Amino acid sequence: MNAALLAAIAFAAFALGYRFYARFLSRVIFKLSADEPVPSRELEDGIDFVPTPKHVLWGHHFTSIAGAAPIVGPAIAVIWGWLPALIWVVVGTVFMGAVHDFSALVISLRHRGSSMGQIAGLVVSPRARTAFLVIISILIWVVLAVFAFIIGTLFVSNPGSIFPINVQIAVAVALGWLVRRRGVPILWPSLVGYALLIAAILYGNRFAATFPAIGDVSVTAWVWILLLYSLVASVLPVWLLLQPRDYLNSHQLITGLGLLTLGLVVLHPTIQAPAVNAAPPGAPPMLPFLFITIACGAISGFHGLVSSGTTSKQVGCMTDAKAIGYGGMLGEGALGLLAVLAATAGFASVGDWSAHYSSWGEASGLSAKLDAFVSGGGTFVASLGIPLEEAKNFIAVMVIAFAATSLDTGARIQRLIIAELAESYGVRPLTNRYIAGCVGIAAALLLAVTQAGGKGGLILWPLFGTTNQLVASVTLLIVSVWLQKLGRPIRYTLAPMLFVGVATAIAMFGELRGYFANFEQQWLLAGIGSLILALDFWVVYEGLRMLARGRPQRPAPAQP
């Protein structure tokens, strides 16, 4: 099968989904209006609530949700064949993931920029709020620890990416200062900044060769550096680093996706993987684990946390939510699609692919799959005449930039969640953004550097997919309850909620059975997994009980 043809079909499906389904949701279900007030203008504080142009905020939102997971998940899931992975990425993105992200953004905008945890308390019950906030906090705890480890690992394996990533941070701060303090329009200075980033990427390998000591920094040391950096980034005003950096990343995204797609067209490689591989050695059953493994490439609870945690506080016009929420997830789906194709058509032969996917143990390594994407994507880009090493370095910088943005955003969301929990229970010191930020990062550091020789985050990574999808299903349930209270149709959010919720619960039960069977070595997974599942059932029970009460009764018409 020709990979370029598959890409064309998938991109057409994404375009049709945005043209028709997103417009239907915006106009009929959510009834968005351009003159509706938004939290960024009502609560503007210059720190978290900052009105932001749509094209700038789209860059922040997309690069925040597009971390390593939409690359790793699809690159692992192709062990079951390219066809199931491709279908789930496309169908899941259009009818589930984009609906989830869009609806989470809208409901947060309609509740003064509140997080999904706080909204659960307002829409469902105070008990649901506490349970959901704890689940979210655990999910982000794992994300912070694991993403820091992933970026550190990529720095060690691709030292040429270290210099451009640091240049990007410096350029972003300068760009934010120019736009906010000097009133300079963002487009042209951002293009100049992006040109500097491209030059830094081309110089990256020479910089690493000139300063070889930088390649001797260990992964554990990078984890410390990255998490301390994310602490600083999480308390800075969004206009100083978060927005301009993500806007620069959006330029890199457009360039990267364009080069990868153009490389597919020029190279038009043949898929080297089987269409369906139902029972690979050592792998769990394809159903339901396909939906859990791909995770962020089709639907992700973390995206709803970004929508309600940072993005909703920056939307400048209510109707921008469609492009940012639904359109941002389509960008994520495109990245997941390219990960599927890179992991199936980026190999020279069927034998090469089989060597990487001979068993579940070979296929499921995080770092190995990221390296596979960097190598496969670099092959696509190199077909355009770009030297292979520079092409691979560009892809590596793109992956690291996405993961780092998710790290920054995750740290900010964790800070806000800790502050929300503290406010609910009267713990005033933790409502301070600096103290809350330190507590969140300290917990991630404790997990990341004190367990398993500095790989502590990976201990809980097996729970990421199931926890992430459970959060997505609960978010869709909360939106469904809210829509029902408004007398709006709920089937467009309830149907994906039921599908994802049931599939994920089955997968979680299967995982827990394995953890308890090996309790001495996996007691932490067993304990935290059981806690997450119990809290999830608690929130779902509260939500379904609200739905069972039915739609609000409309007053009977007056008698003549």
Q: Is 521 exposed, middle or buried (0-12, 13-18, 19+ CB in 10 A)?
A: exposed
| Residue 472 pLDDT > 90 | yes
Is residue 454 within 8 A of residue 467, CB to CB? The reply is no
The Cα 336–Cα 421 span in angstroms is 34
| Cα-trace Rg, the chain | 22
181-203: average pLDDT:
90
pLDDT at 302: 93
Q: Confidence class of residue 368 from pLDDT cuts 50, 70 and 90?
A: low
Q: Which of 20-29, 77-86, 106-115, 402-411 has the lowest mean pLDDT?
A: 402-411
Residue 426 φ/ψ region, left for φ over 0, alpha for ψ in the -120 to 50 degree band, beta for the rest: left
This prediction has a pTM of 0.90
Q: What is the largest CA-CA distance in the chain?
A: 90
Q: Is the confidence at residue 556, as pLDDT, over 50?
A: no
Sign of torsion, CA 110 111 112 113? Answer: negative
Whether 496 shows a pLDDT value over 70: the answer reads: yes
pLDDT confidence of residue 559: 37
Is residue 19 scored above 50 in pLDDT? Answer: yes
Q: Which residues contact 101 (CB under 8 A, 6 or more apart)?
A: 65, 303, 304, 307, 325, 326, 328, 329
- Neighbouring CB atoms inside 10 A of 24's CB total 11
Structural domains in the chain? 3-548 (1.20.1740)
Which residue in the block uniquely carries the two structure tokens 């001495």?
A: 520
> To the nearest whole percent, how much of the chain has pLDDT over 90?
56
Euclidean distance between the first and final Cα of the chain, in Å?
70
Give the number of other Cβ atoms within 10 Å of residue 118's Cβ: 23
- pLDDT recorded at residue 551: 58
Q: Is the pLDDT of residue 402 over 90?
A: no
